[in-house]
Structure 1
C-alpha cells in the first residue's frame, strides 16, 4: 500500500465485500469522485495499491477521505451512483470516465 493518512488506512479496514457506492473527498471535503462496486473493499483498496494511469494517480493524490454506502444489489449501486454523480458533479468522474468504466468491479 502507498503512504496514506491514518484516517484512510482505518476506513479501508471497515469496507465490506458487498455492493455499494463510494465517494472520494479532497481536503476541503468536496466530493471529487463517485464510483460503484460489486465488492467495495476490493474496489476502494485498488485506488491505494499498485500502479495507476496518470489520471487515476492524480485522483488518488487528492483523496483525503472517503465514505461509502452499502446497497442490496449491483443494480441498486448503479442507480445510486448515477444519482450521486448528478448531485455532486465530481470533477474526476468527467476526467476518468474511460478508466472507471473499465475496472473489473
Structure 2
C-alpha cells in the first residue's frame, strides 16, 4: 500500500496528489508535455526516481521495499521525494469512510 503525497494543489491546477498523478513519475514520463495538466510544469526528478524504483523493485523482487498492508498495522508508504513508511497514516479519514460501500 502506498499513498502518493508529492503534489500540492498549487503544483497542478488544483488537483494535488489525486488519483493517477503518480503514473507519470512511476513510468518516468514526467517530462512529457502531455502530462503537464496532470502533474504541473515542474515535476521533481527525485520523486520520479523514488516512485520508479519502488515499482521496479516490486516487479523484480515482489516487494516495493516496505511491509505489505494488513488490517492490523495498515502499513503504508507515503511516497514523495523520499518514502516514509507509517502505520495507519489517516485513521480519522479511514473511520469516516467506514460502512460506506
Same fold (TM over 0.5): no
Q: Which is richer in helix?
A: 1
TM-score normalised over the length of structure 1: 0.23
Structure with more relative contact order (C-alpha pairs < 8 Å, separation 6 or more): 1
TM-score normalised over the length of structure 2: 0.24
